[in-house]
């Protein structure tokens, strides 16, 4: 049976995010691309798709890992876990991230939870062949883990949606160029 809903783009980014170089978690989207979802935005079955792309660099020696997470306020509602980066140096190669988040429970306190899965595509992913012999690697998120609901948050309050990036060593960089959040229903 149809739900009689529609898809809509909630927000996009018109400018680059900050160039992240520190070994710390930080928002990778520009401030104008952060959207505050209103009270009681989520209902069971509601889905959001987050698409992002940009450029990433890593070094040969200790390339570290890349990690994306979605936060609602201060709560990590989805964690993609650590993606091992390539042991071949990469300078300003493209990346593409797509995440699908589905509301599994709603309520106050920490009752609202999201199930999330996604994919990260880049030549910077460990094991990616050289472009001349094969192209870019792709990793399913969360990495090496069964999908599970994220940390619960309060749906009765307004929550700012943010995309964070963390690298484990300060030897690389990431810049977001494009970002879209879509409500699928």
Using one digit for the tens of pLDDT, what is the confidence trace for 8-60? 999 999 999 999 999 999 999 999 999 999 999 999 999 999 999 999 999 98
Q: What value does the mean pLDDT take over residues 83-111?
A: 95
Backbone angles phi, psi at 33, to 5 degrees: -95, 5
Predicted TM-score of the model (pTM): 0.94
Q: How confident is the model at residue 137 (pLDDT cuts 50, 70, 90)?
A: confident
Angle at 69 between CA 157 and CA 137, to 5 degrees: 150
Q: How does residue 6 score in pLDDT terms, banded at 50, 70 and 90?
A: confident
Please identify which residue in the block is written with the tokens 């890593």: 58
What average pLDDT does the chain have?
A: 94
Taking the C-alpha atoms of residue 47 and residue 181, their distance in angstroms, rounded to an integer, is 10
- Vertex 11: Cα angle to 9 and 17 (nearest 5): 140
pLDDT in tens, 142-173: 998 999 999 999 999 999 999 999 999 998 99
Position 134 scores a pLDDT of 75
Domain ranges of the chain: 9-183
Six token digits for residue 69 = 């997470």
């Amino acid at each position: 049976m149809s739900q009689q809903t529609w898809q809509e783009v909630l927000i996009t980014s018109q400018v680059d995010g900050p160039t992240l170089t520190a070994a710390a978690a930080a928002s990778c989207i520009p401030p104008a691309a952060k959207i505050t979802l209103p009270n009681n935005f989520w209902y069971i079955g509601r889905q959001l798709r987050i698409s992002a792309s940009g450029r990433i660099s890593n070094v040969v020696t200790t390339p570290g890992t890349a990690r994306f997470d979605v936060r609602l306020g201060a709560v990590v509602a989805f964690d993609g876990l650590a993606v091992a980066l390539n042991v071949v140096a990469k300078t300003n190669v493209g990346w593409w991230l797509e995440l699908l988040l589905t509301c599994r429970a709603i309520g106050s306190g920490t009752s609202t939870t999201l199930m999330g899965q996604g994919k990260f595509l880049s030549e910077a992913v460990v094991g990616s062949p050289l472009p001349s012999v094969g192209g870019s690697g792709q990793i399913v998120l969360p990495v090496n883990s069964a999908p599970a609901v994220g940390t619960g948050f309060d749906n009765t309050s307004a929550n700012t949606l943010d995309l964070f990036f963390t690298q484990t060593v300060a030897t690389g960089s990431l810049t977001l160029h494009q970002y879209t959040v879509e409500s699928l229903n």
